[in-house]
Chains A and B, each alone.
Chain A
Amino acid sequence: MSTNQSTITTATESARNSVATAYSKSRSILEGERLAQFGVIVLAVFIFAGLFAPFIVPHDPGKINHGEDGDVLRLAEPTAEHPFGTTHLGRDVMSQVMMGAQVSLIVGLTAAAIATVVGTSVALVAGYYGGKIDNILMRLVDIAYGLPFLPFVIALVFIFGSSLYNIILVISLLMWRSSARVIRSEVLTQKERPYVQSARAAGASDFRIMFRHILPNVLPLVVLYLTFGVAWAVIYEASIAFLGFGDPDMYSWGTILYEAYINGAIRYAWWWVIPPGVSIMLFVMSVFFIGRSLEKVTNPDLRHN
C-alpha cells in the first residue's frame, strides 16, 4: 500500500514537474524568439487598449464630430485631432478602432477558452474510456466537422440575434472539434503509460486519473490549442461582422470594415479601411507568433540547432 502510495505521489509529482519543466523550457525557448517577443509586445498594446479603451479614447466613437465651420466632418483626412480621420457620418475612426480591441479580446479569449475546455474534456473522456464512449464522441466530432463553419455560424447568429454573447457561443460551438480530435490521440498514448496504471492500482478514481494525472501531461498541447483558438476566434468574429452580422452595439474591427466597405471607402478613404484591417492582422499575427514558439515546446523537431 505504502509503495503504491509513493508511486502515485511520484507520478503526480513527475506530472507537476513536467509542467514546471515545460514552463521553464518554454521560457528558455521563448527567450531566443524575436517573433514571439514582437507578438508579446503587440498583444500587450492591444490588451492595454482593450482594457482602458472606454477611458482613453480621444472621442466618443459614436459621436458625430463637427468642423470649425460647424459642418459635420464627413470623411475627413487624418489630422492631429482625428489621427485616423473620420467616417462618412463624421465619427472618429481611431476611437472606434480602439474600442474594437475590446471586442476582439473578449471574443478571442472567451470563445477559445470555452472551446478548449469542452474539447479537452471530450478528448480526455473519449481517449481514457475508449470503446463505445470513444466511438460516440468521435462521431460527434465528425458531425461537427461536417458543418461548414461560417455558414453555420451565420445561420445561428441570424436566428438567435447578433449579440456578442451569441457570437461567442456559436463560435465555440464548432471550434471545440479540432482540440477534441488532436488531444484525444495524445491522451491515447498517455493512457498506456505506467503512471496511469499505478494510479489505477492505487484506487484513484477515473475522474482523478483523467484530470490530475493525464491532463498535466497533455497540458502543453492544450495551451497550444488555446493560443491558436484565440487567433481563429478573432478571425471568425471579424468575418461574421464583415458580412454584416456583428453586434450592432459594439465597434468590432469587422463591423468598421463592413461599414467602410458598403460605403465604398476603399476607393477614397484609406484611413477608414487600413487601421481596422491592420489591427486584425497584427492581433492575429502576434498570437500566431507566440503560438509558433509554444509549438516548439511541444514538438522538438521544430527547434533549430
Chain B
Amino acid sequence: MRKFIVRRVAYLILTYWAFITILFLIFRVTPGDPTTLYIPEGMSQAERQATLERYGLTDPLYVQYVDYLRMLLSGDLGTSYRYNAPVWDVLTTKFWNTIFLMAGAMTIAYTFGIAFGAYIGWLRGTAKEKYGMVLALIARSSPEFWIGIVLLSIFVFQLGWFPWGGIREIGAEAPASFFDRYVNWGFVYHLVLPVLTGAIYYMAQPILLMRSSMISVLNTDYIEIKKAEGLSNYTILYKHAARNSILPMVTVVALVAGLSVGGSLVIETVFSWPGMGREMVESVHHNDYPMAQGAFFLMGSVVIFMNFIADIAYAFLDPRVRYE
C-alpha cells in the first residue's frame, strides 16, 4: 500500500507539473502577439513597451517560465486588470462560492441518485424501472444551462418563488466574516435553484451506475440466501445488496466532483452566481488574462486533487489495484 501511495504521489506531482506548464503555454505562447491579450486598446507604443517590461514579457521565454513557477510556488497569481487587485484576493471568495454550490449539488445528486439507482436496479424488468431509466436519461441529455433555463422560467418567472440569480439581495453588503456570509437563510434561498440544476444534471450518472452495479450484485448467490432466510425486501435491498453495490461509486464521486468544477462555468453563468467559473468566462471575454489564468489554475488544482483522492480511495477499497 505504501509503495502504491508513493507511486501515486509521484504521478500526482508529474501531472501537476504538466498542468502548470500547459497553463503557462496556453496563455503565453499563443499564435500572434501575447500583448494583444495583455494590453488594453488605445495604448501608445512606449506605454506598451513599458507594460511589457513591467510584466516581464520582454524576457526570454525560459526566464518567464521560471518566474512564473516561482510566483505560483509562492502563491502569487498576479494582478487582475479589471479589478486592479491581486487575483488571489478576488478569487478567494469566488472559490468558496463555487465550492459551496458544487458540493451542495454533488451531495444531493449522489444521495438521491444512489438511493434511486438501487431502487430501480431492484425493480429490474418492470415498467417502473423503464420510466426511471428514461427520466435519468432525459436528465443526462439536458446540458446544465438548459436545465437552469427551464428551472428559471418555471420557478422564477412563472411562480416567482425564488430570486432570478445572484448570491444575496441586490445591493446587500457582503458580510465580512466567512461564517456570516454562508450561514444565513438569504444565502440558502439564492442557492436552491443553482444547486438543483447541478443536482439534476449530475444525478443521472449515479442512478445508471448504481443500477447496473445492483444488477450484478443481485445475480449473486448470497442474495438468494438472504431471500431464503425470509428477510424483507427492504432489508435485503438497502442492507445487503446496496451496500455491496456502493463500492464503485466512491471513486466515481471523487472523479465527478473534480469534473463538476468545470461545469460550474455554465450553471454560474445562468444564475449570475459570483463563482470561479463565471469569473473565468467574464475574464476571458474582457481579456483579463491573469484572472482567467488564476481561475483556471484553481479549477485544475481541484480536478487533479480529486482525481488523486479517487485513485487512493479505489486502492483502499479494492486491494487488487495495489498490485497492478
User: Are B265 and A150 in contact, with the CB atoms below 8 A?
Assistant: yes
User: Are B284 and A154 in contact, with the CB atoms below 8 A?
Assistant: yes
User: Are A244 and B285 in contact, with the CB atoms below 8 A?
Assistant: yes
> Any chain B CB within 8 A of the CB of A57?
no
User: Are A148 and B144 in contact, with the CB atoms below 8 A?
Assistant: no
In the complex, chain B residues whose CB is within 8 Å of the CB of A292: 133, 137
Set A35, A145, A159, A266: member contacting B152, Cβ < 8 A? A266
User: Are A238 and B143 in contact, with the CB atoms below 8 A?
Assistant: yes
> Any chain A CB within 8 A of the CB of B203?
no
In the complex, chain B residues whose CB is within 8 Å of the CB of A150: 262-263, 265-266, 277
| Stretch in contact with the other chain, from B81-89, B212-220, B221-229 | B212-220
The interface bits of chain A over 147-173 (1 if a CB of B lies within 8 angstroms of the residue's CB, else 0) are 111111011101110000000000000
User: Are A146 and B18 in contact, with the CB atoms below 8 A?
Assistant: yes
- Which residue from chain B places its CB closest to the CB of A266 in the assembled complex? B153
In the complex, chain B residues whose CB is within 8 Å of the CB of A211: none
User: Are B262 and A151 in contact, with the CB atoms below 8 A?
Assistant: yes
User: Are A281 and B138 in contact, with the CB atoms below 8 A?
Assistant: yes
B257 CB → nearest A CB, Å: 12
User: Are A270 and B153 in contact, with the CB atoms below 8 A?
Assistant: yes
User: Are B19 and A257 in contact, with the CB atoms below 8 A?
Assistant: no
CA distance A147 to B259 in the complex (A): 9
User: Are A243 and B266 in contact, with the CB atoms below 8 A?
Assistant: yes
User: Are B261 and A148 in contact, with the CB atoms below 8 A?
Assistant: yes
User: Are A139 and B143 in contact, with the CB atoms below 8 A?
Assistant: no
> Any chain B CB within 8 A of the CB of A78?
no
Set A149, A243, A281: member contacting B146, Cβ < 8 A? A281
User: Are A160 and B19 in contact, with the CB atoms below 8 A?
Assistant: no
> Any chain A CB within 8 A of the CB of B26?
yes
- Which residue from chain A places its CB closest to the CB of B255 in the assembled complex? A145
| Stretch in contact with the other chain, from A17-25, A215-223, A283-291 | A283-291
User: Are A304 and B125 in contact, with the CB atoms below 8 A?
Assistant: yes
- Which residue from chain B places its CB closest to the CB of A234 in the assembled complex? B143
- B contact face: mostly helix, strand, loop, or mixed: helix
User: Are B150 and A277 in contact, with the CB atoms below 8 A?
Assistant: yes
Number of interface residues of A (CB under 8 A): 46
| Stretch in contact with the other chain, from B69-77, B112-120, B182-190, B295-303 | B295-303
- Which residue from chain A places its CB closest to the CB of B152 in the assembled complex? A266
In the complex, chain B residues whose CB is within 8 Å of the CB of A244: 281, 285
Among B15, B146, B284, find the residue whose CB has the most chain A CB atoms closer than 10 A: B146
CA distance A151 to B30 in the complex (A): 16
CA distance A242 to B146 in the complex (A): 10
> Any chain B CB within 8 A of the CB of A267?
yes
With A155-B26, A156-B26 known as contacts, the answer to whether A239 contacts B292 (CB < 8 A) is no
User: Are B300 and A146 in contact, with the CB atoms below 8 A?
Assistant: yes
With A146-B300, A146-B304, A266-B149 known as contacts, the answer to whether A288 contacts B141 (CB < 8 A) is yes
> Any chain A CB within 8 A of the CB of B280?
yes
Q: Chain A residues in contact with chain B, CB under 8 A?
A: 35, 139, 142-143, 145-152, 154-156, 158-160, 231, 235, 238-239, 242-245, 254, 257, 261, 266-267, 270, 273, 277, 280-282, 284-285, 288-289, 292, 299, 301-302, 304
9 A-B pairs closest in CB distance: A148-B262, A285-B141, A284-B141, A146-B304, A150-B262, A143-B18, A148-B299, A149-B262, A277-B146
User: Can you pick out 29 interface pairs between chain A and chain B where the beta carbons lie within 8 Å of each other?
Assistant: A139-B14, A142-B15, A143-B22, A145-B307, A146-B15, A146-B304, A147-B300, A147-B303, A148-B259, A148-B261, A148-B262, A151-B277, A151-B296, A154-B265, A239-B143, A239-B265, A242-B143, A242-B266, A242-B269, A243-B281, A254-B143, A257-B146, A266-B149, A273-B149, A277-B150, A288-B140, A288-B141, A301-B219, A302-B212
